[in-house]
Amino acid sequence: MSHKRAYCPALFITAPNSDSGKTTLVAAMARYWRNQGKQVRVFKTGPDFIDPIFHEFASGHPAYQLDLGMMGETICKQHLYQAALEADLILIEGVMGMFDGANSSAALAATFGIPLLAVIPAAKMAQTFGAIAYGLAHYQSDVNLFGVIANYVGSPGHATMLKDSLPEGIEFCGAMPRDASLALPERHLGLVQAQELEGIEQWLEKTAEVLGNSCELPLPEPVCFAAPLTDDGQFLSSTTTSFLSSKPLQGQTIAVAKDAAFSFIYRDNITLLECAGANIKYFSPINDAVLPNADSLYLPGGYPELHLDALSSNKSMCQSIKQHIASQKPTLAECGGMLYLLDELTTKSGDKAHMLGAISGSATMQHKLQGLGMLSAEIDGHTMSGHCFHYSKSDIALTPIATASQAGKHRMQEKIFLQHNTLASYVHWYLPSAPKLACQLFLGQIHSTNERVT
């Protein structure tokens, strides 16, 4: 086996905990360097759908996930190698705290040799800032800490105090001020989506300007990114297997829901389907009257609970989708997409709305998280991985065909349902983890069956 190599400066932006301001800082950095005429590519650690859209607005380029557990090392290497060919700078936003999880930000950065830039929230601390920075730099021996940025800083004097607290060998890269106008609004699944925010461009320009005035931003040294090749020169990637090169979805059109209610979809999923020959047609269940002419349907997750009236009142769209499903045309429904297919959905405040009724069941939004984690399931002899993150509890009158389960000490399970060639579950599937199964699904070739519970 040989490798192709590409070199590009790269930074892995991390923090001691969630809510440290990583997304704001990464978006500001992407826009800052873009404004300097640089080509920037941004990645997000973990199975996150929301943060990458901010990075896409900021950089002007698609943003992808990087997750060793869900994607595997080979696909991650492929993404980084391709970005290094095209970019002047690669930015990677970490998830949670720097060392949190089996596939932590620190582990990912060490795997690919990328220096870490730590964003430390410093609103209510002084010399302890230095202790936290020292701990991040030395907790594991394989950490390469490029420097630290203090966030939520109260004054220039406060910034000086924080800088002076750092031990020798840790670079102070600047201090972002405590400024409410730089904060992003949040809701129960994370930040409010970038595409929903008015003035997103003005916000990006302001944060980039504040960053440029407050922080030292030298480009780091280039990192070598290597992509593994087979003996015949082909990339070792699920999207370049001989199976996909035969174009099993050639001539197939897949309608993909995409609007404020349905937007949680991995870019790699669309890439895989297109590599397999599929034609993708996006549509809006909120705004469009009917489904586009398509062979199969993809309903990803999102926020249907925030758009109950718009979804339930669009009767022509509801009828169009019900007709598609009743005609045995293949459908994949993930999390919010599954809730949309049920009889009824109830909000936390008790507001109810009739949904499509294509799957017998109902769901109610809860005040506490009901499911979170990486899972995998065996369907028709193939193992596919994915992620779930939901606040609803559902009651579905079907016998599951399989169960997605979580590995490790804290095990979680999610039922998977199949009816009328519609595969539905709370899992957001990462389709490249099982390319053949993904194609079978959109061709209506999942062989397991179930019946309604009576």
Q: The CATH number of the domain where 207 resides is what?
A: 3.40.50.300
Copy the structure tokens of residue 242.
Answer: 């001989």
Same domain, 6 and 54: yes
Lowest mean pLDDT among 31-35, 91-95, 191-195, 247-251: 191-195
More confident residue, 3 or 278: 278
Task: Given the residues 8, 173, 215, 335, select the one marked as catalytic.
Answer: 335
Q: Which residues are 388's β-sheet partners?
A: 373
pLDDT of residue 52: 87
Lowest mean pLDDT among 82-91, 213-222, 264-273: 213-222
First to last CA, the chain: 56
Of the pLDDT bands very low, low, confident and very high (cuts 50, 70, 90), residue 256 is very high
pTM, entire model: 0.89
Of the pLDDT bands very low, low, confident and very high (cuts 50, 70, 90), residue 408 is low
Domain membership of residue 200 (yes or no) is yes
pLDDT of residue 186: 63
- The domain total for the chain is 2
Same domain, 62 and 140: yes
Domain assignment of residue 93, given as a range = 2-225
DSSP 215-254: B--PPPPEEEEEEEE-TTS-B--GGGSHHHHT-TTTT-EE
Same domain, 162 and 40: yes
SS (HEC) of 31-91: HHHHHCCCCEEEEEECCCCCHHHHHHHHHCCCCEEECHHHHCHHHHHHHHHHHHHHCCEEE
Domain membership of residue 177 (yes or no) is yes
pLDDT of residue 190: 58
Of the pLDDT bands very low, low, confident and very high (cuts 50, 70, 90), residue 232 is very low
Domain membership of residue 449 (yes or no) is no
Strand order in the sheet with 344-346: 352-354, 344-346, 361-365, 392-396
Domain membership of residue 447 (yes or no) is no
Residues 377 and 384: beta-carbon distance below 8 Å: yes
Domain membership of residue 264 (yes or no) is yes
Same domain, 420 and 283: yes
- Asked if the model's pLDDT at residue 69 lies above 70, the reply is yes
Mean pLDDT of 283-302: 97
pLDDT of residue 55: 92
- Asked if the model's pLDDT at residue 449 lies above 60, the reply is no
More confident residue, 174 or 194: 174
pLDDT of residue 229: 60
Same domain, 291 and 158: no
Same domain, 165 and 283: no
Cα–Cα–Cα angle for 308, 454, 326, rounded to 5 degrees: 55
Of the pLDDT bands very low, low, confident and very high (cuts 50, 70, 90), residue 236 is very low
Same domain, 218 and 86: yes
DSSP state of 399: -
Same domain, 116 and 52: yes
275 in active site: no
Same domain, 183 and 254: no
Mean pLDDT of 252-269: 95
CA distance 109 to 102: 13
pLDDT of residue 238: 42
Same domain, 206 and 97: yes
* Highest-confidence segment of 186-200, 267-281, 402-416: 267-281
Domain membership of residue 217 (yes or no) is yes
Same domain, 219 and 318: no
Tens of pLDDT, residues 137-193: 999 999 999 999 999 999 999 999 999 999 999 999 999 999 888 877 665 555 667
Domain membership of residue 61 (yes or no) is yes
Of the pLDDT bands very low, low, confident and very high (cuts 50, 70, 90), residue 68 is confident
Average model confidence (pLDDT) for the chain? 90
Domain final position from 205, 225, 245:
225
Lowest mean pLDDT among 59-68, 88-97, 389-398, 405-414: 405-414
Domain final position from 225, 260, 277:
225
Domain membership of residue 196 (yes or no) is yes
Same domain, 218 and 316: no
Tens of pLDDT, residues 308-359: 999 999 999 999 999 999 999 999 999 999 999 999 999 988 889 999 999 9
Domain final position from 172, 202, 225:
225
